[in-house]
A = this chain, B = another copy of it.
């Protein structure tokens, strides 16, 4: 654990109550390191941070256009959503455009991660379904791609399925990483996830953001997805979440995407840079402040832009009575003295 950098500290009454280590890297589209802390070459599972790269073939193949998917539906194909009403309606619409419904989804079922959405569902006497799974939009995108290609959709989550082969090839191309059975595991939603160096994930985000080092058709697809997300960031994450908030504030200047177990990546297109952070212990709260710190460090932000970012850089912690009892502080750049 000694090679990990300090990502964040959580305080209570001025004392550090928890501390998070991990790895952080900023690279350009060639993968050249602009900033690195910790072992940036060690393989990590990108989990849901890779979703936009897996969604590229849906756009690049023109399947999305042939099927009439709208921009908010393209965002859902990249999303880890909270199961709120617009998310569920959008995924339903995507499936309907290929004559399918929720029964085609192979992502499994969980309650909406938005507690408000979950309680609303419960208040209506309803149970969650696979549409509420945070990955349902990604899966609907895979089903759309399968149908457009004339492939049988069932089994689309399997590594050998033609759709999974196509989207995996896209991820390999954009990140430059080797993806095969030796670094493969199963993600929370049943699709493969491949452990890749954090530097490669950041490189993929740099390329996704700038289009550099990508084939022109792939670069155009990335731009389209990125602008769609920036125009409707609620759809990629959900109410109150980091990715929603940072893109509501900074728009297309950032493309930010979280993944499970403390992985988080972002693109800064105007600089051609990609950011990737892995919190060693899997805590999203630490990866988020680290990503916020790196965004603030590298983007030239006005004071007005910095102001709302403060809540993401230094989240205040309150107790159940509403009393402020501590905060989360970034550990990068030695702000901690």
Chain B residues in 8 Å Cβ range of A1: 1-2, 4, 6, 19, 21
Listed residue (A12, A110, A323) with the most chain B CB atoms within 10 angstroms of its CB: A12
Interface membership of A14, Cβ < 8 A: yes
State the number of copies, please. Answer: 2
Interface membership of A109, Cβ < 8 A: yes
Q: Which of B6, B118, B188, B319 contacts A187 (CB 8 A)?
A: B319
Interface membership of A280, Cβ < 8 A: yes
Q: A188-B319, A320-B107, A326-B185 are in contact. Are A282 and B13 (CB under 8 A)?
A: no
Chain B residues in 8 Å Cβ range of A17: 44-45, 261, 282
Binds B, one of A49-57, A119-127, A217-225: A119-127
Chain B residues in 8 Å Cβ range of A111: 115, 119
A188 near B18 with CB under 8 A, answer no
Q: A45-B17, A123-B125, A125-B123 are in contact. Are A261 and B320 (CB under 8 A)?
A: no
Task: Name the residue on B nearest A109 (C-beta).
Answer: B320
A19 near B185 with CB under 8 A, answer no
A43 near B15 with CB under 8 A, answer yes
- Assembly CA distance A221 to B118 (angstroms): 42
A19 near B320 with CB under 8 A, answer no
Chain B residues in 8 Å Cβ range of A12: 45, 185-186, 193, 261
Enumerate chain A interface residues (CB-CB to B < 8 A): 1-2, 4, 6, 10, 12-15, 17-21, 43-45, 106-111, 115, 118-120, 122-123, 125, 133, 183-190, 193, 195, 261-262, 279-283, 286, 319-323, 325-326
